[in-house]
Amino acid sequence: MTSADPIYDPITAVTQLVATVDPALDYEQIRRIVERVGGGRAKRRRLAKELADNRSVLLTGRSPASKAVGELLLALRGTGSARISPPWCADCGREVTSMQRRSGNCYCSPCFERPEPCSACGQLRPVGFRDRHGGPRCAKCPDKDTRDPHHVLVHVITTIDAGPTESAVTAAIAKTAVKAAHVQKLAWTLEEAPELLTTDGAKAPSPMVLRLIDALCDAGPTVVRRPACPRCERVVALSKTLDGQRICRNCAAKANAVPCARCGTIREPATRDEHGKPLCPNCLVSDPVNLESCIRCRRRRRVHLRSPDGPVCGTCTPRTTAVCSMCGRTAPCTTSKTTGRTQMRRMRQGMGTVLSLRTLGTGSSRDTRTTSLRRMRGPRPGNLEDVPRMRHHRPDRRRRLQPLQTSPATARPAHRHRRTDQTRTAAAPSDPGRHQPADDGAELAQTPHRQSNPGRAGSRRPAAHPYGPRRADPQ
């Protein structure tokens, strides 16, 4: 059997290695376990590369080993394999039944928990609790608070705003935290800094404070306000942390933006290559290593959709006949993952520059979003009247050429081709409809001056002749 490549087919590579170590295991069963434990594409590749470099870990189970290798060993041992070794503790050598790692080594639970000096008694003991300031406490010195944390939270909130009832505040607390320890921690936090509910929400030490603010604002009018991002000043979800403050996802991406090692685009890196250099999302999916064979056309292309049968490229993605949200025509469309609207393929590709339009909302983090639409070449679609400052396609403003005004007696022929000398010689001199070469200079003298383009007032440049500049006839 030809060994599979760990990069292009990591699942097959790991399955072959495990089947080589323990032939008694069923091949399809091993593959299902590897698919379940392997996770995403990057994790599977790291697992396959690690086992390809050191396959002896399947027989010894000794550290250093990654967490994925330890989970694979535990899953294979759960199927009854006798040759696959379980992971062993790097400190005491005991068999590990649950994965706990530190510095690349696996440890059992007693060896993993490092003792710390208790903040109450000062003894070096295993940490059993954390006090209201985050300090370690041993099992004999818990931070006791005899008050009910629900009553503390209701008192703090009703002191700030007397509008919400006690039942509404209790319902908001129930939506925010479920465990008693979390409610106690939330009560301690707001009791020390009640301004987090009104002005300093971006400095919240825990996401529970932001969830409580959302629940109180959804309950009705209140003095409690959702915090704005301290960098862009937008009222959106603050899901990231920077310099001790909570910021939005967009500002976090801008703060982490670096030049891509391949294309040079300044964006937030999606991953890093084997040398540790950043790669943008476009270079990641366009990398030949990450291309996969489409189950329909059998070509190695970028994955646009993952169906139950396998990856599908963008060309072979199934489309349903629907009304396009951009042009209003009924045609095969796909649904946008950003806006949830149906779009024709030609409306998504090559229709102009991208315009960033923000949909106005109510101020909630889930009501304000940014939508990217493309400027269309042509009339404005009828279903986008609410889009502000939509740029229209301007008609062609090229200056139209004005014909040279001449008298009927001196008008030139309408065709472009000049007559030959033989034709001019055969023409009768007395024929008034014929052009006389001898009087060419006189005709030019009688021709009125070329007028400027009436569409451009004050223009000093005369309009061009429709057949080009007039040349002198050969003698």
Domain extent at residue 352: 320-383
**Distance from C-alpha of 297 to C-alpha of 260, rounded to nearest angstrom:** 31
Least confident segment among 7-21, 74-88, 437-451: 437-451
Whether residues 105 and 14 share a domain: the answer is yes
pLDDT band at 79 (very low <50, low <70, confident <90, very high): confident
Residue 17 lies in a domain: yes
| Domains held by the chain: number | 4
**Distance from C-alpha of 280 to C-alpha of 264, rounded to nearest angstrom:** 9
Please tell me which residue, 160 or 460, carries the higher pLDDT value.
160
Q: Is the pLDDT of residue 369 over 90?
A: no
Whether residues 273 and 326 share a domain: the answer is no
Look at phi and psi of residue 67 and say left if phi exceeds 0, alpha if psi is from -120 to 50, else beta: alpha
pLDDT band at 472 (very low <50, low <70, confident <90, very high): low
Whether residues 154 and 98 share a domain: the answer is no
Residue 240 lies in a domain: no
Whether residues 35 and 102 share a domain: the answer is yes
Please tell me which residue, 20 or 356, carries the higher pLDDT value.
20
Q: What is the pLDDT of residue 259?
A: 94
Q: Is the pLDDT of residue 428 over 60?
A: no
Query: How far, CA to CA in Å, does 433 sit from each of 287, 405, 407, 409, 425?
Result: 74, 18, 12, 7, 15
Whether residues 95 and 168 share a domain: the answer is no
Residue 30 lies in a domain: yes
Least confident segment among 171-175, 364-368, 385-389: 364-368
Whether residues 276 and 329 share a domain: the answer is no
Whether residues 328 and 272 share a domain: the answer is no
Q: Tokens at residue 350, please?
A: 């090559």
Q: What is the pLDDT of residue 3?
A: 76
Asked if the peptide bond before residue 64 counts as cis, ω within 30 degrees of 0, the response is yes
Residue 249 lies in a domain: no
Q: Which of 1-5, 30-34, 403-407 has the highest mean pLDDT?
A: 30-34
Residue 422 lies in a domain: no
Residue 141 lies in a domain: no
Q: What is the pLDDT of residue 436?
A: 47
Whether residues 267 and 176 share a domain: the answer is no
Residue 411 lies in a domain: no
Q: What is the pLDDT of residue 8?
A: 82
Residue 189 lies in a domain: yes
Whether residues 77 and 169 share a domain: the answer is no
Whether residues 165 and 219 share a domain: the answer is yes
Among candidate residues 383, 413, 429, the one where a domain is terminated: 383
Q: How far does Cα 348 stand from its chain's mean position?
A: 16
pLDDT band at 249 (very low <50, low <70, confident <90, very high): very high
CB 38 within 8 Å of CB 13: no
- Residue 260 contacts by C-beta under 8 Å, 6 or more apart in sequence? 266, 267, 269, 278, 279, 280, 283
Q: Which of 27, 111, 35, 110 is nearest to 72 (CA)?
A: 35
Q: What is the pLDDT of residue 273?
A: 85
